[in-house]
């Protein structure tokens, strides 16, 4: 088998057996009934046997698990051969449904009942549907859906991973991720970086590698090599023997002492505590969607301010940058966004929803101000999806009215990068969201595998827009107003060096990435960072930009990054 090249999105070099993620179990056709020659008794018995087999499998897994996971698996095992479920399936079978269809519909009814009960029961509905898929897979004699179970650590190969798969991914078992689809900013890539797993995405052909085949994965080079040879074994052994990264000591700096605060992106109070424990110098991006998602109406003032305060309290005396509600596109909200837009990425999203639904943003700012007043954090506020200086000025006015002192904007739209000077006349800081800035600069949807090369934040055009933002800030004020980066780009140590070289003041990333970025930055002088930036900005592709910069930063190898 020849090696497969994709986009390396999370560093690391490992060797292990591949396990393929089985495809989801499709719904059995309702139009296909029980075959004329089949006996209802025999089929009912076959269903029971399949259910018992699924139950036994889940019980075995429960025995190997511990704590909450074991309890959930035990309960799920009981559901698999539940007498009520089997009885209603048997009734449907007797009424002429196919065996698979009968259990499918019976479980559907149970799940609907549990959903209607709400709360904890509604969450269990997903377990019933999981059990159903497993029984149908057993009846068909195909592998059970979901992340495969294995006694030994393995490399997971899939078409792409969905956010739901990530909940069941055990980082102690999965040692690397390789997907045929996805891009540098797809869910798989973000998950891999958050877990610190080597990953290669957009690697067409990885789904054809037979399960059990030994492969080598290089998450920096984007390489997947089936049946690895001596070179790969040496590389993997060297990576395994690397020294552990030193924990981040809480001060981001270059070798020659230029301070670059390293902040964390967080979504709630719990995440903020974890980020503080990892040494984060503050929060560079507080996503406030967590308060709003899965809601039919706006959360109350009290609920919002309590949630924000929980984050502020984790960082007394430190900076916390709150991003106001970023609804729309991949994060729709029934009371704010229009689901029928033909092109939601270019639609009424982020700050733009304020015009269509005035009041929600104002109330959010008031809740942030109230929480800030009761905490010791230094609270900054920024609006997402700002495209023009006039919008920035309007947002600054709203912040002032709410009593918030430091308004800023996200730079995600190329127009904002190009007019950063005028925007920074109106507000006090800018924070570059590289995920969306890449998507809008390259006109490429970040979830699409075939566009992986374009959705790479190493694209020189994206780097040039980051430079334009920094230059705009410098042309307007002395000293320049701060420009930070809070996208996934800041979590890539080599790219973080480039950003510092471009003149970015602070970097915000998932807490897991802090130690790697800090360790590399410490080995690089500001002059070397500027040289890295020059190499990247003048490269002719994302790939060459990355290769040139990496070749210039030998410490990446030593640190295993």
Partner 1 sequence: MPERIATVASRVGLHARPAAIFAEAAAEQPVEVTIGLEGTPADEALDASSILSLMGLGAEYGAKVVLRAEGEGADAALESLAQVLETDHDAE
- Residue ranges that bind partner 1, judged by CB under 8 A: 71, 74-75, 78-79, 82-85, 87, 110, 113-114, 117, 120-121, 124, 128
- Which three-class secondary structure string do you get for 106-166? HHHHHHHHHHHHCHHHHHHHHHHHHHHHHHHHHHHCCCCCCCCCCCCCEEEEECCCCHHHH
Q: Considering the complex, what minimum distance in angstroms separates the CB of residue 126 from partner 1?
A: 13
| CB proximity list for 176: less than 8 A, separation 6 or greater | 12, 14, 16, 155, 156, 197, 198, 199, 200, 217, 219
Instruction: Say if CB 176 and CB 16 are below 8 A apart.
Output: yes
For partner 1, the closer CB: 56 or 117 = 117
Q: Give me the catalytic one of 291, 399, 477, 486.
A: 486
Helix (H) or strand (E) holding 86: helix 83-94
Token look-up 């689809």 returns 181
For partner 1, the closer CB: 78 or 555 = 78
**CA 299 centroid distance within chain:** 24
Show the tokens assigned to 552. Answer: 């210039």
For partner 1, the closer CB: 128 or 321 = 128
For partner 1, the closer CB: 125 or 236 = 125
Q: Considering the complex, what minimum distance in angstroms separates the CB of residue 91 from partner 1?
A: 14
- Going by their DSSP bridges, the two strands 429-432 and 483-485 should be labelled as parallel
Count of C-beta atoms within a 10 Å radius of residue 171:
12
For partner 1, the closer CB: 71 or 170 = 71
Instruction: Say if CB 430 and CB 403 are below 8 A apart.
Output: no
Show the tokens assigned to 475. Answer: 């042309």
- Going by their DSSP bridges, the two strands 483-485 and 506-509 should be labelled as parallel
Q: Considering the complex, what minimum distance in angstroms separates the CB of residue 64 from partner 1?
A: 17
Residue 486 is a catalytic residue:
yes
Q: Give me the catalytic one of 187, 291, 357, 394.
A: 187
CA-closest candidate to residue 225, choices 152, 155, 149, 148: 155
Q: Considering the complex, what minimum distance in angstroms separates the CB of residue 552 from partner 1?
A: 55
For partner 1, the closer CB: 55 or 220 = 55
Q: In sequence order, what E strands does 173-261 have?
A: 174-179, 199-201, 214-218, 223-226
CA–CA distance, 444 with 438 (Å, rounded to integer): 8
Show the tokens assigned to 225. Answer: 């090599």
Q: Considering the complex, what minimum distance in angstroms separates the CB of residue 52 from partner 1?
A: 12
- Going by their DSSP bridges, the two strands 406-411 and 154-158 should be labelled as unpaired
- Going by their DSSP bridges, the two strands 378-383 and 406-411 should be labelled as parallel
Q: In sequence order, what E strands does 412-452 have?
A: 429-432
For partner 1, the closer CB: 78 or 194 = 78
Q: Considering the complex, what minimum distance in angstroms separates the CB of residue 56 from partner 1?
A: 14
For partner 1, the closer CB: 128 or 217 = 128
Q: Considering the complex, what minimum distance in angstroms separates the CB of residue 361 from partner 1?
A: 39
Residue 291 is a catalytic residue:
no
CA–CA distance, 263 with 289 (Å, rounded to integer): 19
Token look-up 């967080």 returns 266
Q: Considering the complex, what minimum distance in angstroms separates the CB of residue 105 from partner 1?
A: 15
- Active-site amino acid positions: 187, 486
């Amino acid at each position: 088998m020849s090696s497969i090249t994709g986009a390396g999105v999370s560093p690391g070099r490992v060797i292990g057996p591949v396990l393929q993620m089985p495809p989801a179990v499709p719904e059995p056709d309702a139009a296909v009934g029980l075959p004329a020659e089949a006996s209802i008794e025999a089929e009912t018995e076959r269903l029971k046997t399949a259910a018992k087999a699924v139950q036994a499998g889940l019980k075995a897994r429960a025995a190997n698990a511990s704590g909450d996971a074991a309890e959930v698996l035990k309960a799920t095992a009981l559901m698999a051969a539940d007498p009520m479920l089997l009885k209603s399936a048997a009734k449907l079978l007797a009424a002429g449904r196919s065996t698979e269809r009968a259990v499918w519909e019976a479980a559907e009814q149970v799940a609907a009942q549990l959903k209607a009960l709400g709360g904890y029961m509604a969450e269990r509905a997903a377990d019933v549907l999981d059990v159903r898929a497993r029984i149908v897979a057993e009846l068909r004699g195909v592998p059970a859906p979901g992340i495969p179970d294995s006694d030994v650590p393995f490399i997971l190969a899939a078409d792409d991973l969905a956010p739901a798969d990530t909940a069941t991914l055990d980082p102690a078992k999965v040692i690397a991720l390789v997907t045929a689809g996805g891009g540098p900013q797809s869910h798989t890539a973000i998950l891999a970086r958050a877990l610190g797993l080597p990953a290669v995405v957009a690697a067409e052909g990885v789904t054809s590698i037979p399960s059990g085949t030994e492969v080598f994965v290089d998450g920096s080079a984007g390489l997947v090599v089936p049946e690895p040879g001596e070179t790969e074994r040496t590389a993997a052994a060297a990576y395994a023997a690397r020294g552990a990264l030193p924990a981040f000591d809480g001060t981001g700096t270059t070798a020659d002492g230029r301070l670059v605060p390293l902040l964390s992106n967080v979504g709630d109070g719990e995440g903020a505590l974890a980020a503080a424990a990892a040494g984060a110098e503050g929060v560079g991006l507080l996503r406030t969607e967590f308060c709003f998602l899965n809601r039919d109406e706006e959360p109350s003032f009290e609920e919002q301010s309590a949630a924000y305060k929980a984050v502020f309290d984790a960082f007394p005396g430190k900076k916390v940058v709150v991003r106001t509600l970023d609804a729309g596109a991949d994060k729709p909200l029934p009371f704010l966004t229009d689901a029928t837009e033909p092109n939601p990425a270019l639609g009424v999203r982020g700050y733009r929803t304020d015009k269509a639904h005035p009041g929600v943003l104002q109330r959010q700012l008031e809740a942030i101000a109230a929480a800030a007043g009761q905490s010791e954090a230094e609270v900054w506020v920024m609006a997402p999806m700002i495209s023009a200086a006039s919008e920035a000025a309007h947002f600054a006015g709203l912040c002032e009215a709410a009593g918030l002192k430091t308004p800023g904007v996200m730079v995600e739209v190329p127009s904002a990068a190009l007019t950063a000077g005028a925007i920074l006349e109106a507000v006090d800081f800018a924070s570059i969201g590289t995920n969306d800035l890449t998507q809008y600069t390259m006109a490429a949807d970040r979830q699409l595998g075939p566009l992986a090369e374009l959705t790479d934040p190493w694209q020189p055009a994206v780097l040039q827009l980051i430079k334009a933002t920094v230059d705009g800030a410098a042309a307007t004020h002395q000293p320049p107003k701060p420009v930070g980066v809070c996208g996934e780009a800041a979590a890539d140590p080599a790219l973080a060096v480039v950003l510092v070289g471009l003149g970015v003041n602070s970097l915000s990333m998932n807490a897991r990435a802090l130690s790697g970025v800090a360790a590399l930055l410490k080995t690089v002088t500001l002059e070397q960072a500027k040289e890295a930036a020059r190499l990247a900005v003048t490269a002719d592709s994302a790939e060459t930009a990355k290769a040139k910069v990496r070749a210039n930063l030998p410490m990446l190898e030593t640190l295993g990054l």
